[in-house]
Amino acid sequence: MCDTIKSIDNFLYLHGDFMFYTSKKNEPIIIEPCASEYAAPHKHDFLELVYVTKGAAKHYVAENESIIRKGDYLVIDYGTSHSYKSIDDRGFEVINCLFLPDLIDRSLVHCRSFSELLNHYLIKMSVRNMYVNPSNYQFRDKDGKIYMLLRSMMDEYNQKAPGFTEMIRCQLIELFIITMRTVTRDSEKTDDAIIYITDRVEKNYMNKITLTELSHELCYSTSYLSLKFKTATGMGFTEYLEKKRINEACRLLANTNKKISEIAFSVGYSDVNFFYRIFRKYAGASPLEMRKKYSSLHN
């Protein structure tokens, strides 16, 4: 066990960032139990899952203050300042799980938020269907399932048997899904029209889909459905569809050897030049540049 929880942060500050640390260990994740009375305000350029295993402390995240106790856990988002101080002298211990989103999938190399990670096709837990914003939210492990998953993940991390990273990935996904179920609305309470549209995009993004066609099928005016969809998702239909296609293209670039032209066709673009323009718009790089970046990860 490290002497203080600050030892991880001190290492990061003194020897570079988390990317440097994990690249030296050829790992996209750190899992360590730590004990401390105090952690000064700090931010991270990665995601941090912290689970309290002993004691209680005042926790300050952004501008909010709360008491965190044994069995509480949070996922601290990118760039969020947080700190804590033990409320007594009985000790305060946590399990710290620091990780990069591309642990889940290499196509998430540019992901910079927990909400974006949850929307990934391997998790599919949409934040728009949740009662709360899960980033920095204080969850409670009522039945001990989360603790058991973290202990198993830590055992895998320490033993490093063949395939340990894949095991940790699976357990982390399970942990997130179990957690998000506790704050997700019943699907029956979600607008049927929005479910219909997002389901159509999920299953048919590679085909021609227009909001006009969908509005006819749902018996709504296109303008009304457009406003309804943007209110529910935070983006217009075209942007939603394009992001879905580009996310799928990123997944294929990261995990297959398909030609870029094949990928363009498979996600719904018959014009490869247009695909390049849309891809750069959302990914900030060309498909070839992204493929090279994916191939260099954790090598």
- 243-287 per-position pLDDT tens digit: 999 989 998 998 899 999 999 999 999 999 999 999 999 888 999
Mean pLDDT of 186-200: 76
Question: Using a CB cutoff of 8 Å and minimum separation of 24, what contacts does 224-227 make?
Answer: 225/193, 225/197
Question: In terms of pLDDT, which residue wins out, 178 or 64?
Answer: 178
* Distance of alpha carbon 178 from the chain centroid: 14
List the one residue out of 35, 60, 42 whose CA is nearest residue 136: 60
Contact 131, 147 (CB under 8 A): no
Q: How far is CA 173 from CA 121, 170, 186, 264, in A?
A: 11, 5, 21, 28
Residue 6, pLDDT above cutoff 50: no
**DSSP letters along 167-218, please?**
HHHHHHHHHHHHHHHTTBPPGGGS-HHHHHHHHHHHHHTTS---HHHHHHHH
Residue 23, pLDDT above cutoff 60: no
Residue 47, pLDDT above cutoff 70: yes
Q: Please report, for the chain, the start and end positions of each structural domain, with discontinuous segments joined by +.
A: 6-181, 191-296
Residue 16, pLDDT score: 39
Residue 293, pLDDT score: 84
Residue 161, pLDDT score: 95
- Residue 93 exposed, middle or buried by CB count within 10 Å (0-12, 13-18, 19+): middle
The residue to which tokens 């019943």 are assigned: 186
Residue 57, pLDDT score: 93
The residue to which tokens 């879905």 are assigned: 244
Residue 299, pLDDT above cutoff 80: no
Share of the chain above pLDDT 70, in %: 88
CATH number 1.10.10.60 given to 191-296: yes
Note the residue count of the chain: 299
> For the chain, what is the mean pLDDT?
86
Measure CA of the first residue to CA of the last residue in the chain; give whole Å: 28
Question: In terms of pLDDT, which residue wins out, 171 or 132?
Answer: 171
Residue 178, pLDDT above cutoff 50: yes
102-113 as b/e: b if 16+ CB within 10 A: bbbbbbbbebeb
Q: pLDDT by residue (tens digit) across 87-145?
A: 887 778 999 999 999 999 988 888 889 998 998 888 888 877 787 889 999 999 999 99
Fold of 6-181: Jelly Rolls (2.60.120)
Contact 103, 172 (CB under 8 A): yes
Residue 187, pLDDT score: 54
Q: Assign 56 a pLDDT band (cuts: 50, 70, 90).
A: very high
Mean pLDDT of 60-88: 91
